[in-house]
Amino acid sequence: MISKKTILLLTISMLAFGCNNNTEQPRTVNDSSYNSARFEPTPQYKTHEVSAFVVPTDQASMSFQVSGIIEEQFIKIGDSVVTGQKLFKVSNPSLEPQITQFISEIAAIDATLEQNQAELRRFKDLKKTNVISQNELDRLTNQRDNLKASKKSLQAQLQQAKSLYDESFLKAPFAGNIAEIYKEKGEVIRPGEAVLVVGGVTSLEAPIFLPAFLHKNLQLGQNLEVHYQGKTINATTKEISLTANPNSQLFKVMLDVPILHDIKSGEKVVVKIKEKIGNYYRLPIESVIDDGINEPFVFLIENQEVIQTKIELIDMENNEVIIKIPRQDEVEVITAGQAKLSPHQQLSRP
């Protein structure tokens, strides 16, 4: 099968070169109808395009810490919210009675403690005159200590119950948009069951998954060109996995994507990644000749003599070719007018 590159080069050769098998003796050409330019090998890159979808940098799946019935829903999908804004309210009938019970028990202990403290003071005075025994005094002291321990335990339970009661409201952890809602008013929910997803609006990121040959071209903090609806955004690499997924053999890379051009979470972008392929010559495509018989070659000029030099075609990009020739220094290449030239001709500009 003839490749696209071969067809293009063959077309060029048919237009620009028709005398490769010229058997005439080398002659001096005094003509200005050919063009040449000097080139040297430089680092060459191949650009790859990788698709990705942007997501919020801050994203939270939210749930209640208590069971109950959803009593109120204050938001809908797509709504913008601010930090601390109420989103849902759940009703748990057992919480309020528990709080009331704990408060009542603590009050009863306080009353008993007050009575105990009064008796303890009186018994201490009586002990000075040996009216009561040490055992009676110790009994009241132990009772006081037990009451204080019970009060402390009830206060801890009350605090926990109040915390759970505060959890009857779901509040936005940060400014953002409501991305998903899984539950509605009237539904029964369990502790930890996802109710909604909030996505941040202050920054976006895009995960991409790369094979090893592209992964090795990236560094932390590197700027990458991202295209969104025909517009360019400069993204930055913020996370680079050092281990490939064992199933896909791809490395995960996370990009920090600025919020520009009204880009929104969930939208598609195209990331441009340059792969370094080596140090090669980059020439105009018209410089390379391929007549379909000989190997592709270029005409070099050395000491005003035309030198036919075989090349290895590495890649094509737009109207340029990336080639390899058996040398690494600066060379002068004939870029146009090859049809009037042949190997070993002497060139002389007027």
pLDDT of residue 94: 64
The H helix count followed by the E strand count for the chain is 4, 23
Collect all residues with Cβ–Cβ distance below 8 Å to 10 and sequence separation of at least 6. 2, 290, 291, 292
Helix (H) or strand (E) holding 233: strand 231-240
Q: Give all domains of the chain, ordered by start, each with its CATH number.
A: 4-45+278-347 (2.40.420.20), 60-198 (2.40.50.100), 203-266 (2.40.30.170)
Secondary structure of residue 155 in the 3-state scheme: helix
Give the CB-side neighbour count of residue 269, counting CA atoms within 13 A.
Answer: 33
pLDDT digits (tens, 9 = 90+) for 240-270: 999 999 999 999 999 999 989 988 888 999 9
What is the spatial distance between Cα 168 and Cα 241, in angstroms, rounded to a whole number?
Answer: 39
| Chain center to CA of 54 | 8
Taken in order 62, 64, 67, 68, is the CA torsion positive or negative? negative
pLDDT of residue 348: 75
Contact 60, 192 (CB under 8 A): no
What is the spatial distance between Cα 234 and Cα 225, in angstroms, rounded to a whole number?
Answer: 5
pLDDT of residue 168: 77
For the chain, list residues with pLDDT below 50: 1-30, 350
